[in-house]
Amino acid sequence: MVINVRFRAFIAVEVAPTERLLSLLNDLGKIGPGLKPVEKENVHVTLKFLGDIEERLVTDVERCMRDSVAGVAPFTIFLKGTGYFPPKGPAKTLWVGIEGAEPMVHIANRLEKDLKDLGFEPEERPFKPHLTVGRVKDNKAAFASEMAVHRYKDEVFGPQVVSSIKLKRSILGRFGPTYSDIIEVQLH
């Protein structure tokens, strides 16, 4: 009997938090229980959320990852500015903007195409690179969250060199997700 082990997964670019980014996360952490800031060890840019996948697909996903970065050399992105989604109504997701992300968009678009061929649902919206820094869980925290983000709207958080993409496992827990690396594919 073959057992299909499933796990929650996504493909991402990891980001090392800069001093200014840590300052933002710290400020968000002071808002209270209605806002869940991203833990500093979990800061990343999601290229493609896969949901629950079967372990047997990991080799095929790795092939798609390798194909998506073919011909893409390491590049530098710049973390700058903040905002929130949705643009109208109370904030739900707080983000940091990314400049110089054209190679990241290229990789994400290739992943989207190749993974669709494996049966993964395509995204309805085009990929827009951003770094999620918090999720508003209670509308009572939305105004304070929006004000905190507004204070950093012109902030330059610094450069980041993108030299790999990773397939990550996500285990949802009582205090938030725990991530672990399954595969790392280097850019070259």
Please give the positions annotated as active site.
Answer: 44, 130
- Do the Cβ atoms of 21 and 161 come closer than 8 Å? no
Listing from the earlier edge strand, what are the strands of the sheet with 156-162? 35-37, 130-136, 93-99, 75-85, 156-162
> What is the distance between the alpha carbons of residues 152 and 132, in angstroms, rounded to a whole number?
14
Max intra-chain CA distance, the chain: 57
**Residue 23, Cβ neighbours under 10 Å: how many?**
14
Helix axes 58-69, 102-116, angle to 10 degrees: 140
